[in-house]
Amino acid sequence: MKILAIMGSPRNKGNTYKVTRGVEERMKQLGNVEFEYLFLKDADLKMCRGCFNCVKNGEELCPIKDSRAEIENKMFEADGVILASPVYCENVSGLMKNFIDRFSFVFHRPRFFDQKLMVLATSAGGGLKETIDYLKKLQIWGFGTPVELSVITPPWPQSDALQKKNEKNINNAAEEFYQKLQEGRQPPNFMQYMHFRFLKETSKLGYLPADLEFYKDKGEFFYDTSVSPLKKIFAPLIMKFAFFMMRDMEPKS
């Protein structure tokens, strides 16, 4: 199994790397696992210019010429993706944020259905929940529910108790991730189904041509799967309510 670890620290061999290596070591004890590290600090991934072309008209029309598409291919080739970031001022690092911004179109047109996700954050003690909660939003890219790992790495020598606790958390998360990698595509949970229905419905407005094209032939979900009758009943009702609440956002006629 191939794991792509996308590293959001400007320090290649810092705390986030050490924690990710801990995950790698435990997973390698469990089975045949191969790790590749993609250090965003060294990657050819320029800053998003904010033109919105990728979301609106298609990612192939992004004016920036760099390795964004190659990074996407690496993600497709992996069975599991780890998004690892230090906490910077209560959230992900700038490197990780730019990576996410450059893949904005995937929030609209999810695609990583055959990959599992682990979200990993390290900090001196603060901001872990905020950072993990933010990274968890990337389950919308198609990954489904991620495995979470947050680790306190203070800028002073760790006590034995903290070290033991960290080792336990790292091993548990590695084991959970390894188990998850054995699963195939799952039927959507309610949020994933709502996300699909919402985007499919709004795509019909035609303001985002790339979305219109993407959703026009989609059936009940992004891929063939069973959707429970309860979800099919409740989703349109909640959507009706959501569209009513958002009525001010409708385009001016």
Among the listed residues 61, 69, 89, 246, the single contact to ligand FMN using CB under 6 A: 89
Residue 222 · residue 231 · CB < 8 Å: no
**Residue 87 binds ligand FMN (CB under 6 A):** yes
Q: Which of 22, 127, 142, 144 is the binder for ligand FMN (CB under 6 A)?
A: 127
Applying CB under 6 A, does 205 fall inside the site for ligand FMN? no
User: Which region holds residue 160: left if phi is over 0, alpha if psi is between -120 and 50, else beta?
Assistant: alpha
Q: For residue 229, what is the enclosing H or E element?
A: helix 229-245
Q: Which residue has the tokens 């230090």?
A: 86
Alpha carbon distances (Å) from 208 to 109, 200, 225: 11, 11, 26
Q: Compute the chain's Rg from CA coordinates.
A: 19
Complex with ligand FMN: residue 50 or 155, whichever CB lies closer:
155
Rank residues 84 and 106 by Cβ distance to ligand FMN and give the closer one: 84
Q: Which structure tokens are listed for 73?
A: 């291919």
Residue nearest to ligand FMN (CB): 14
Contact call for residue 122 and ligand FMN (CB under 6 A): yes
Secondary structure E strands in the chain:
2-7, 34-39, 80-86, 116-123, 147-152
- From candidates 15, 139, 192, 203, binder to ligand FMN by CB under 6 A: 15
The answer to whether 14 contacts ligand FMN (rule: CB under 6 A) is yes
Q: Which is nearer to ligand FMN, 17 or 141 (CB)?
A: 17
Q: Considering the rule CB under 6 A, would residue 9 count as an interface residue with ligand FMN? A: yes
Residues in the chain: 253
Of the pair 9, 203, the CB lying nearest ligand FMN is at 9
Q: Which residues bind ligand FMN (CB under 6 A)?
A: 9, 11, 14-17, 86-90, 122-127, 153, 155
